[in-house]
Structure 1
């Protein structure tokens, strides 16, 4: 079986796979690399590092960065924006976990 036919997980489906370089991430977001560094310093996103030490970002991190840019553009301070985003992310995760538990414990439909 060739790798193209493999049924295992792929990085295409992995929202947390660090696929994007800093330059590409900044380009996709319409920001500067300095903006991404500031989010790293603020502890909103912590990019993984390549073997050469370069920052690499995941799609999930890019969504958080895009939300930060949106809040900053609306006049929210960086520290407040980071707190808002972290709370939004935690809420979304809790809602997903809650839905999974609900689906697992739903009684089977009656015929």
Structure 2
């Protein structure tokens, strides 16, 4: 694998878009890509493992109603929708909880993808 892109890199989305799916699955943080309509078109195996989602289907599902309805809030989805409407997504959020641990803090970077969708990069403290 090429050098792993840093979670805080300003050009993280561009670096990840240059990777093969296998390489994305090996990143030390979770990766989800949503299409322009909010449906999941990439859900890394690392994210599935870290979040506790595991082998459940997710590709083609609406992220905010079928995968992560807990993120369907004005603070998260509302801010994301506003950024998409402005034409550029570059935001960071802290979300509490996932399938594996409802009390775990997750740092989420949301960045525009080249195809008009949105990348979600999810970083959890590993202990």
Scaled by the length of structure 1, the TM-score of the pair is 0.22
Which structure would you say has the larger Rg?
1
Larger fraction in strand: 2
